[in-house]
Every structure is written in C-alpha cells, then in structure tokens.
Structure 1
Amino acid sequence: MRVLVTGGAGFIGSALVRHLVLDKGYEVLTLDKLTYAGNLASLRAVEGRNNHSFLKADICDARAIHEAFATFRPARVMHLAAESHVDRSITGAADFVQTNVIGSFTMLEAARTYYAGLSGEEKQRFRFLHVSTDEVYGSLGDAGLFTEKSPYDPSSPYSASKAASDHLAKAWARTYGMPVVVSNCSNNYGPYHFPEKLIPLTILNAMDGKALPVYGRGTNIRDWLYVEDHARALDLIIERGRVGETYNVGGRNEVKNIDVVRRICSLLDQRLPTGTPREELIQFVTDRPGHDARYAIDATRLETELGWKAQENFETGIARTVDWYMDNEWWWQPMRKNYAGERLGLTSGNKGTG
C-alpha cells in the first residue's frame, strides 16, 4: 500500500507516518514544507527505512504536487498539511488562507488529474482523506456534542480557512466524483508537539520554573485526543470510511484548560519535586479574541460504524506525555534555543495558553 502523507513532519502527521511505516508496513511518501512546526527529528524513528521517503515541497506548488503523484503513484492520500495555530492566524491570516485554502485546492486538483488517469483496481481503491478540526463547528454551549451534522460556525481565521478547505473537499467529491473522505478531530496532545500549544508549553515552562500563562480564568473546555489514537483513527477512516462522508474523531475527555495545567503541575511535582508547588507559577492573562468556550466531539459514528476506540484516557495520556517530554530533551531542546516558550503570533500583552 503506497500512501502520500502531506504535513507528515508535523505533530499529527509524524504520528501518522510512524504508525503507517512501523505498525502497518506501508510504503509512505512524506511531503512537508518544513515550516517552523515541521521537524524532521519527529521522523527519526522511520529514517533510513526502505518503505519511507521524504519530499520537501509546498502544497501550493502545483508542479511539485503533480510530480509527486506521477512518480510515487499513491493508492491513498492523507492530507494533513495546514497552518494550525489560532493565535498566529489572528495576526497573520494570509498564510492560513494560502496554505489551508489554496494549498488544499492544489492537492485536490492534482488528485483529480491523477485519479482520472487511473483504471481498474487502481481507480477502485484510490482514496483521498482530508483531515480537519472540530474548530470549524464554532463554540458549544454547556451541553451537547458536535456531530457530523453540526453546522459550520468558525470563529477565527484559522477555523474559517479549515472550514473552507472542508467544503472544497466535499465539493470535489460531489462535483467530480472524487473518492474523498473528511475527518474532524478534537484537540490533540502527546509526543512531538511543537511547544507553542497549551500542553507542551505548560510542561516545558513548568519544568523550567517559568510562568504558566492561562487565558481568562482557564474555563474554556476542550475534548482531548491522544495523538496516537488519532493516527489509528485516520488509518481506519481512509481504509473503511464511506466516500463522501465525514467522521468526527474525539477522545471523550472534556477538561477545562485550567485543570489541564493543574494536572501537569501535579505530575511534575511528583516526578521532579522542587519544594514549591508548580501551581504557583500559573498566571491568568487577557483572553484572546474569538476564543471558543467549549469543544466536544461525538465520535459515535467512528466507534459504531468503523469499530474505533481510543486506547488512552486523559489521565493515562497526559502522564505518558509528561514522561515523554522529560525523557526526550534531544527533540525539544534545540527549539528552546530559538523559542524560549513565549506564545507566538499575538499582539503585545496577550500571551496566554489554551
């Protein structure tokens, strides 16, 4: 099985590549532009393997993308490449529109051309998975869950750009008969996560005794999904999911941001005691614009139709994540030399997490 993975040097993408190469034995071409969030070190576990190759390319580069299809001839395309940081999108929306909208259009067009040239069994088995986020649905109230039928209501330039790309993917399925499947996931966490996001930033700052800034009062709620569970779900969705359908992937682990930070503090206090509780490092800062109050995913379709089940709950997953960052300084230390843990992409005075 030949699989083309875009964004494969990123957080979720690298977890997927490791799963496909090491666990499934598939032949994988990882395509990544290697922006700040793409890191070849995240692919060290598959480096040098005969069933893995890497191509540095921009998904907006139509010539490079068409050539990748023509030479690699994938049976599956798993499209994860995206600008994915809400705070950065607020002050730099152009990059998000370019990569998430134009880049996805470029991928879909290249796949359409390639698909049109296939025949027989090759054409029958080809699939294109467009990987997206629960943020396209906007903010939930105190009750209820996002389902595959929830209306789109994006709040930030990031989520708006992802919503646009979702609509493009579904339109290519309906208009051109492309075998496209879409997935929308809740907040991922786990190893190899770039330390501008809530969990890795909190872990590393707490280890260093630095301030732990939290937006507002930390009451925003997220449904946390361990990244390796997500990788397994994506493989299952592209293999068994129905063409033209959407599958929501969630961990059924709703936790307030402040409780996430406190749990990390508690775990580090147990593992690296300092005599002073790390909760004292928490600092509440002005909330960011367009900050959705609550996300929570209903993964019933994925669980009942495809038989997926998360292997990690939040307690086991966050403990594994803290331990990974403690044990893998080789991966994150080079980033800390150029990025000391500040929240990126925000205006002055609004540097929180979550």
Structure 2
Amino acid sequence: MKILVTGGAGFIGSNLIHYIITETDYAVVNVDKLTYAGNLESIGDISNNENYCFERVDICDRDALAEVFERHQPDAVMHLAAESHVDRSIDRPSEFIQTNIVGTYNLLEVTLSYWKTMKEKSKPNFRFHHISTDEVYGDLDFDNTVFTEGTPYDPSSPYSASKAASDHLVRAWHRTYGLPILVTNCSNNYGPYHFPEKLIPLVIMNALEGKVLPVYGKGEQVRDWLYVEDHARALFTVLTQGRPGETYNIGGHNEKKNIDVVINICRLLEELVTEDLQRQFKSEHGLDIRVKGYESLIRFVEDRPGHDRRYAIDAKKMREEFGWLPTETFESGLKKTVIWYLQNMGWCLRIRNGSYQRVGLNIVNK
C-alpha cells in the first residue's frame, strides 16, 4: 500500500512518516512545499529508504498535484499540509486562507478525479484522511465539558476558522461526490521535531539561553497534551481501520495549564542540565547555556487576541472502536521531549540560523 502524505516535512507529518516507514511495510510519498516549517532534516534518516520518496509540491498547484497522483498511484491520502501557528494567522491570515482552504480544495479535486479513474476493485479501499485540530470547536469553560465528535464548530482565530472550513469541504466531498474520507481532530501535540516557535520547544531553548520565558496572560489557559508518537499511531489506526465518512477525536487525556507546562519544563531542565552538559554545548555548538534558576525567567505578557480558554478531547470513540489509548503520560512524554531537545541541539540551532533549509535541499538533491 502506498500512502501520499501532504505536509510530511512538518512536525506531525515527519513523526507520522517515521512511524509508517519504521513500523509498517507501507510506502510513503511525501508531498511538501517546504515553507519555513518544513524541515527535511527531520526525516533525513529515512530519506534513502526504498519505501519513501519526496515530491516538492505546493498543494495550491493543482497541475503539479495531478502529476504526482498520476506518477505514484497512491492507495490513500493523509492530508496534514497546513499553516498552523495561531500567532502567525493573526498577523497574516491570507496565507492560512490560501493553504488551508484553497489548498485543501485543490487536493480534494485532484483526489476525486484520480479516485473516479481507479480500477473498480481498488476504489472501495481508497481513503482520504484529513488531519485537523480541536481548535475548530472553539473553547470550553473551566468545568467537566469536553469536545466530542458532535460538538458544534465555533473557531476563534483565523487559523482555526481556516481549518474548520477545510473540515467542511472534506465532508462535503464525501456527501456530494462519495469520496471515502476520514476526519480526525487532535489536541495539542508535543514531542520531537517540533518547530521552535511553539510553546514547549520555545521554553526549552529560551531557558537554556537565559532568555525570558513569555507566558500569555496569567498562563491559566488549559490544553490537552498529546505526545506526537501516540498521535502518529492513532492516525495510522484510523486510516487502516476507520469507517469512511466518520470523524474521530484524538486526545492525550492530559489537561494542563500553560503556566504549569512551563514550570514543569523548568524543573526538568534543573534535573537534566549539568555543568558537564554546559561544557559540551560550549564545545560542540558554541552555546553558553544556563544551568540553574530557570523559573526566575518566567514573565507574564499581554494575552493573545481571542485566546481560547480551555481545550479538552473526549477520545472515547477511539478507545471503543480501536482500543487506542495514549501510551505516554504528560510527565513521561515531556521528559522524553526535553531529553530529545538536549540531545538534538544542532537541529534546533540550524532552524534558528536558517541553515536547515539548505540541509533540506541537500537531502532532496542527493
């Protein structure tokens, strides 16, 4: 089976491709435009695998997409390509409208045309799996309510509104044209290969460098945290076992206030960062890192416009239909994440100085 993955050089996409290539015998075609968030170094270790290939294509380019489908003849599509950072969507919403809405529309049209021409014996097994976010539901009060698959949409930001629109398009292509789709809405992911502008890697990097750790408002916002490798396993499970036309919510069962996440990172760094590591970072990376006193760097800053209060996922459907549960607690997953960043500081610094984009092109041109 050959899976076409859009956005496979991003955070969730790269972890998903790692899972598919290392844990299954499926093949992957990675379609990615390589925007600022696309980093082929994140999957450099599998770039020469016989079951993997890369196509540098923008999902807004319908003709190029059609050529990819014609050349590779995929058995399924897993659509992750998206602009995804809320702060960026507030500053530049047009990019989110173009990629998340227009790009998804183009991909649906190309997929539908391809699916219609498939051999009759292959068509019933084809799937278009659209990977979305819990942010499309808006936010929750600080009570026991949770997002279910039937929660009405109420997006708050240009990002979540554009993702909500793409969700509706995918379902419309199923109901109107019969395209066999699956939709998943996930909670906040964290783990290896997360772009350093996001909360957890930003706090890790800033703390090590002795910089301010900015926290919006008072840090009271609550998020449900999902370790990205658990998410990758869930996505593959839905693709291979899910019922066409269905939506599945994927959550980590780990609700945490933002301020508590930041404090937990600081305390893990206190435990893990030593003077020996400080000397190692100075020698290998020319980086003079801080060893102690990370919590003193926390600063509360003006809250983000339209900042959602609380997200919480009810993943009962995943458990009841597939027996899926996250394997990582927040504590175990966060420790793995901090250790990964400490062991992969070169990856982080190449993103900081922009050289990761040259590294990615070198991988493509091998």
Do they superpose with TM above 0.5? yes
Report what 2:86 is aligned to: 86
1:289 and 2:310 correspond: no
Counterparts of 2:265 and 2:91, CA distance in 1: 29
Specify which of 300, 323, 333 is matched with residue 316 of structure 2.
300
Counterparts of 1:338 and 1:62, CA distance in 2: 29
Q: Deviations over 1:165-198 (max 9, x none)?
A: 0000000000000000100000000000000000
Question: More deviation in 270-279 or 325-334?
Answer: 270-279
Report what 2:334 is aligned to: 318
Q: Deviations over 1:29-70 (max 9, x none)?
A: 000000000001001121111110000010000001111111
8 Å CA contact 1:226, 1:317 repeated in 2: yes
SS at match of 2:303: coil
Shift of 1:275: 6.5
Shift of 1:118: 1.1
Shift of 1:309: 1.1
Structure 1's unaligned 5+ residue stretches are 340-354
SS at match of 1:302: helix
SS at match of 2:122: helix
Counterparts of 1:129 and 1:151, CA distance in 2: 21
Q: What is the root-mean-square deviation of aligned Cα atoms in Å? A: 1.1
Question: More deviation in 115-124 or 215-224?
Answer: 115-124
- Give the TM-score, by structure 2 length: 0.91
Shift of 1:119: 2.3
Report what 1:54 is aligned to: 54
- The aligned length equals 339
Report what 2:141 is aligned to: 141
Report what 1:213 is aligned to: 214
SS at match of 2:192: coil
Counterparts of 1:276 and 1:118, CA distance in 2: 60
Counterparts of 2:195 and 2:128, CA distance in 1: 26
- Give the TM-score, by structure 1 length: 0.94
Amino acid of the structure 1 residue aligned with 2:317: R
SS at match of 2:313: coil
1:21-170 matched pairs, under 5 angstroms: 21-143=21-143, 144-170=145-171
8 Å CA contact 2:225, 2:253 repeated in 1: yes
Amino acid of the structure 2 residue aligned with 1:89: S
Counterparts of 2:22 and 2:28, CA distance in 1: 10
8 Å CA contact 1:18, 1:45 repeated in 2: no
SS at match of 2:121: helix
Counterparts of 1:44 and 1:17, CA distance in 2: 11
Shift of 1:121: 2.4
Amino acid of the structure 2 residue aligned with 1:174: R
Q: Deviations over 1:306-339 (max 9, x none)?
A: 2211110100000000000000112111112259
Counterparts of 1:111 and 1:233, CA distance in 2: 23
8 Å CA contact 2:208, 2:291 repeated in 1: no
Report what 1:187 is aligned to: 188
Question: More deviation in 303-312 or 217-226?
Answer: 303-312
Q: Deviations over 1:1-31 (max 9, x none)?
A: 1000000000000000111111112111000
Shift of 1:111: 0.6
Counterparts of 2:187 and 2:255, CA distance in 1: 10
Q: Deviations over 1:84-110 (max 9, x none)?
A: 000000010000000000000001001
SS at match of 2:110: helix
Counterparts of 1:40 and 1:72, CA distance in 2: 20
